[in-house]
Structure 1
Amino acid sequence: MDQQIRLLIADDHEIFRDGLALMLSRQPDIQLVGQASDGRELVDMLENVQADIVLTDLKMPRMDGVTATRLLLQKNPLLKIIALSMFDEEDLIVEMLEAGAKGYLLKNADKQEILEAITQVYADNIFYCKQTSAKLATMIVKSRFDPQRNKEKVSFTDREKEIIKLICLQFTAQQIGEKIFLSKRTVEGHRTRILEKMNVKNTAGVVVFALKNNLIKEEDLL
């Protein structure tokens, strides 16, 4: 990467925030430009600090992440925001996406997923946490959030549609291959092309895309 990603973290849990900041400050591609302890401080800080990406908690004192996101994107529509969430905050995650966030992470995400989220969102992709539940995927699909807006429609072969359904049902490449009589390697090739066509990076992204585009029904996931 030619230039560092300027990152700002907002979270009212000091120990969590400091730990995250320490880990991210060690990454050569990331420049940590600030830490905020609540939404109000985050908004104020960005008056004086330039950031490419904001990692922000959803629930914070004085101003929550959703309100801060709306305010920040009114001032700077190019700012990219990733929500940090607890596992039981599906409604707030959907609100954040509707407010303009480009992705979300559960707070127990591992280092690799956090770094992937940052690089993907920096590249202007949507990032869905890999631990996305079927319930949350369905809520995202039913919301006003539309990641495919202004993008060309893509088509899939019958074989790809078959594999998409099995990916959504959490089948591994090995299991899919055994079910439809293909080698694991062939299935992995199909999966790579499917993710490229959908412009998503993981199974959660496939599920949201498939639901949004009627390639799978909500009841199929239950």
Structure 2
Amino acid sequence: MNHKIIKLLIADDHLIFRKGFKKILEDVNSLNIIGEASNGSELLTLAQQLKPDVILVDVSMPVMDGVMAVKELCKRQVTKRIIALSVFSQETHIMEMLEAGALGYLTKGVGKKEILEAIEAVYENRPYFCKESGKQVLDLIEKYQSGYRNHLIVFSEREKDIIRLICDGFSSKEVAHMLYISQRTVEGHRTRIMKKMRVKSIAGLVTYACEKGLYIAK
């Protein structure tokens, strides 16, 4: 690891994971875990207060998910040394976190050695991607560099659920109740969905969803 002590902030809604991660890294002299956040909103507050060198962010969190939190961190210029964490090795999650501004990506099942490699790389402002999904990510980067990124629109499973429910006529409050998430989270997803679709209204969202096969009328 780098000779400087790297200040690390961990954001994940699962206490067991945060504690386990801390246990794995507590004997690394060049690391100092300065804080833990259980949701995206808490992450933003702690990041601005503690000024971490590197942040580990779970893709899926309550109140504000990882994608929205990373976008806000980059927008506020807190740091871009961000590693996205997920239990999945899926193109959708990688794509969303890359677009949001994350510099690295790891699945939660990786070992200590790779975690340290990722932290060191991102600390030095070098991208790092999980070896398990390396080829997949390289393909994405190639698409980015070729300009394909502007044409590739992907939706997460949660976004697809929200799209279907909106098309069924449910309000944000009703969707939130049905998916066991906050209304604010639903509205954040809806805003991001409409931005991806490049539509300005719910009618536009429904039309797009039907045309692209994201929703089939009952």
TM-score range, shorter chain: 0.5 to 0.7
Aligned: 1:99 with 2:100: yes
User: Unaligned 5+ residue runs, structure 1?
Assistant: 147-222
The correspondence of residues 61-140 of structure 1 with structure 2, limited to 5 A, is 61-76=62-77, 78-132=79-133, 134-140=135-141
Percent of pairs with identical residues: 42
Shift of 1:47: 2.4
Residue type of the alignment partner of 2:10: I
Q: 1:116 to 1:133 in 2, by over 3 A?
A: closer
Q: 1:135 to 1:6 in 2, by over 3 A?
A: closer
For the residues of structure 2 that align with 1:111 and 1:62, how far apart are their CA atoms? 29
Shift of 1:74: 1.3
Shift of 1:134: 4.1
Q: Match of 1:109, SS?
A: coil
Check whether the contact 2:80–2:102 (CA below 8 A) recurs between aligned residues.
Answer: no
Residue type of the alignment partner of 2:93: L
Shift of 1:40: 0.9
Check whether the contact 2:80–2:103 (CA below 8 A) recurs between aligned residues.
Answer: no
For the residues of structure 2 that align with 1:77 and 1:16, how far apart are their CA atoms? 24
The one-character-per-residue Cα deviations of 1:17-43 (angstroms, maximum 9, x if unpaired) are 110012222210001110001111101
For the residues of structure 1 that align with 2:31 and 2:71, how far apart are their CA atoms? 24
Check whether the contact 1:94–1:143 (CA below 8 A) recurs between aligned residues.
Answer: no
TM-score normalised according to structure 2 size: 0.62
TM-score normalised according to structure 1 size: 0.61
User: Unaligned 5+ residue runs, structure 2?
Assistant: 148-218
The one-character-per-residue Cα deviations of 1:59-109 (angstroms, maximum 9, x if unpaired) are 111111111001011112644100001234321211111221111011100
Residue type of the alignment partner of 1:17: R
Q: 1:144 to 1:98 in 2, by over 3 A?
A: farther
Check whether the contact 1:38–1:62 (CA below 8 A) recurs between aligned residues.
Answer: yes
Residue type of the alignment partner of 1:70: K
Q: Match of 2:75, SS?
A: helix
Q: 1:19 to 1:121 in 2, by over 3 A?
A: same
For the residues of structure 2 that align with 1:70 and 1:49, how far apart are their CA atoms? 18
Check whether the contact 1:52–1:79 (CA below 8 A) recurs between aligned residues.
Answer: no
Q: 1:127 to 1:88 in 2, by over 3 A?
A: closer
* Residue in structure 1 matched with residue 50 of structure 2 by the alignment: 49
* Residue in structure 2 matched with residue 203 of structure 1 by the alignment: none
Q: Match of 1:28, SS?
A: coil
* Residue in structure 2 matched with residue 28 of structure 1 by the alignment: 29
The correspondence of residues 68-217 of structure 1 with structure 2, limited to 5 A, is 68-76=69-77, 78-132=79-133, 134-143=135-144
Question: Which protein has the bigger helix share?
Answer: 2
Q: Match of 2:32, SS?
A: strand
